[in-house]
């Protein structure tokens, strides 16, 4: 992929991927980080699951039927896609590729398979952060408190959470979402450090400065 500088200072674009078991607080944290870093653009995935109360098509997800989703798989529309908790989820390819090539910073919330697929495709330009709940008990309380899933779905998500958590080792960073403000500040520090990492600087810009 072509690597271009962005307007903020001649740096390459980047995809910041957040994963966590469902109910840990990814959506809440991504919103908090985006409020602090308004230049972050959020990738909107497609899914075959039904919208939850308050979710909007085109803002939270693009909600598709199974048939529409499978048609897009065949067309090669997705950067990566996966079945998560019995539904299909996929990240549109063109959008991310174009934004990173244009030097933009993208944030997205993906499951573990999705995050690893992004790292495979953009090894130098993807930063993976795994968010842990303070405990499995706290996770259960958050899932119950959110009141968006029935008891069977919550039990299934808790079961899958254990397998997901074991895969933290593939990530660049791990953050515990205990106190929201603290976790959001940690994510912000990671993001800032990665943006300012020397490898992200475009050598041409430095040469221009020295010329
Ligand atoms: P996810 O996107 O990971 O499924 P959500 O962002 O929907 O999770 O959060 C799940 C629930 O936990 C929500 O009710 C949210 O308000 C709550 N929550 C998120 N972060 C915290 C936190 N640090 N402490 C307590 N509750 C939290
Ligand atoms: P939810 O249904 O709670 O919104 O999301 C369920 C899981 O699917 C979460 O772990 C979320 O990060 C993941 N997910 C959302 N969009 C995508 C995507 O485009 N690709 C992949 N692989 N996972 C996704």
**Taking phi first (over 0 means left), then psi (-120 to 50 degrees means alpha), and beta for anything else, what does residue 56 get?**
beta
Q: Which mutation among 51, 108, 142 tests ligand 1's pocket best, with the greatest number of atoms within 8 A of CB? A: 142
Residue 9 confidence (pLDDT): 55
Q: What is the mean pLDDT of residues 128-152?
A: 92
Residue 209 has pLDDT above 80, yes or no: yes
Task: Indicate whether 80 belongs to any domain.
Answer: no
Q: What share of the chain is helix, strand, coil (3-state, %, to 5)?
A: 45, 20, 30
Residue 5 has pLDDT above 50, yes or no: no
CB 92 within 8 A of CB 43: yes
Task: Indicate whether 94 belongs to any domain.
Answer: no
Task: Indicate whether 112 belongs to any domain.
Answer: yes
Task: Indicate whether 85 belongs to any domain.
Answer: no
Q: Which pTM was predicted?
A: 0.88
> Which pair of tokens denotes residue 186?
């940690």
> Tell me: the pLDDT tens digits for 12-43?
889 999 999 989 999 999 999 999 999 999 98
Cβ neighbours around 128 below 10 Å, total: 21
Q: What is the Cα gyration radius of the chain? A: 18
146: confidence class by pLDDT, cuts 50, 70, 90:
confident
For residue 150, CA distances in Å to 85, 154, 164 come to: 13, 6, 21
Beta bridge partners of 62: 46
Residue 10 confidence (pLDDT): 65
Task: Indicate whether 62 belongs to any domain.
Answer: no
Task: Indicate whether 77 belongs to any domain.
Answer: no
Q: Which mutation among 24, 25, 186 tests ligand 1's pocket best, with the greatest number of atoms within 8 A of CB? A: 25
Distance from C-alpha of 105 to C-alpha of 126, rounded to nearest angstrom: 10
> Which pair of tokens denotes residue 206?
């430095």
Q: Which mutation among 29, 45, 157 tests ligand 2's pocket best, with the greatest number of atoms within 8 A of CB? A: 45
Give the CATH number of the domain where residue 129 resides: 3.40.50.300
> Tell me: the pLDDT tens digits for 43-89?
899 999 999 889 999 999 999 999 999 999 999 999 889 998 889 99
Task: Indicate whether 133 belongs to any domain.
Answer: yes
- Minimum-distance ligand to the CA of 33? 1
Ligand 1 atom closest to 21 (CA): 3
- Minimum-distance ligand to the CA of 88? 2
Distance from C-alpha of 115 to C-alpha of 102, rounded to nearest angstrom: 21
Q: Which domain holds residue 203?
A: 14-43+104-210
Tell me, in angstroms, the distance from the centre of ligand 2 to residue 12's CA.
26
Residue 53 confidence (pLDDT): 87
Tell me, in angstroms, the distance from the centre of ligand 2 to residue 101's CA.
24
Tell me, in angstroms, the distance from the centre of ligand 1 to residue 142's CA.
6
> Tell me: the pLDDT tens digits for 107-132?
999 999 999 999 998 898 999 999 99
């Amino acid at each position: 992929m072509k690597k271009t500088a962005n307007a903020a200072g001649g740096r390459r674009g980047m995809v910041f991927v957040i994963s966590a078991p469902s109910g840990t607080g990814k959506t809440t944290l991504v919103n908090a980080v985006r409020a602090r870093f308004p230049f972050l653009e959020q990738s909107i995935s497609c899914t075959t699951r039904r919208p939850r109360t308050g979710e909007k098509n085109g803002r939270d997800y693009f909600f598709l039927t199974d048939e529409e989703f499978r048609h897009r798989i065949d067309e090669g529309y997705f950067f990566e896609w996966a079945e998560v908790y019995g539904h299909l989820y996929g990240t549109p390819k063109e959008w991310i590729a174009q934004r990173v090539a244009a030097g933009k910073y993208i944030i997205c919330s993906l499951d573990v398979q999705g995050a690893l697929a992004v790292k495979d495709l953009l090894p130098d330009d993807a930063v993976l952060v795994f968010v842990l709940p303070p405990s499995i008990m706290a996770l259960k309380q958050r899932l119950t408190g959110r009141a968006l899933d029935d008891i069977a779905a919550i039990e299934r998500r808790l079961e899958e959470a254990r397998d997901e958590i074991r895969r933290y080792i593939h990530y660049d960073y791990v953050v515990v979402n205990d106190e929201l403000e603290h976790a959001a500040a940690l994510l912000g520090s990671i993001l800032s450090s990665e943006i300012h990492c020397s490898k992200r600087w475009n050598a041409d810009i430095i040469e221009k400065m020295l010329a």
